[in-house]
Amino acid sequence: MDDGVKKTVGALPLLSIKAGPRDEQWGERLKQEYAALIKYIQINKADDNDWFKIESNPTGTTWTGKCWYVYNHVKYEFDLRFDIPVTYPETAPEIELPELDGKTSKMYRGGKICTTIHFKPLWSRNVPKFGISHALALGLGPWMATEIPQMADAGVIQPKK
């Protein structure tokens, strides 16, 4: 993990409520999730590192949006989605970039990014402290930093016009 990621993650609020979508305390957990996401977005904007926009359905169980990565002065933008698992926060959300499905070996069917080796063990050691903002900062962000340049160099992806 590079120093910039460590600094950002260190500044993110840790969550305390251990509740998933079917639990009574889900509304309180969701408030913590939003607060951590707002903080993460503020940190990114202050560092001129704005790279995603997401929103949830009214129950906070389905999230959609856009994420982007700039490589060689070219912006690559993708649809982003994930559902909160019933066993959340014990189980991290599986982040999907559907339009990249099948374009890299570091992806599962349906466009779900591969986070099993590096991120999932870290997540499991930090339940319930980690949330959506941590999944983006420690899962999707590093995945994109590794995979997008490789796919761009190989001509597998093209920037949107």
The residue from 114, 127, 145, 156 that is catalytic is 114
Contact in structure between 52 and 66 (CB atoms under 8 Å): yes
Q: What is the pTM of this model?
A: 0.93
pLDDT at position 5: 64
Query: What's the angle, vertex CA 122, arms to CA 118 and CA 128, rounded to 5?
Result: 145
Which residues, 6+ apart, have CB-to-CB distance to 8 below 8 Å? 40, 43, 44, 47, 137
Contact in structure between 35 and 13 (CB atoms under 8 Å): yes
Query: Residue 67 catalytic?
Result: no
Mean pLDDT, rounded, for 145-161: 92
pLDDT at position 4: 64
Average pLDDT value for the chain: 92
Predicted confidence band at 7 (pLDDT cuts at 50, 70, 90)?
A: confident
pLDDT at position 109: 81
Predicted confidence band at 1 (pLDDT cuts at 50, 70, 90)?
A: low
Phi, psi (deg, nearest 5) at residue 67:
-135, 155
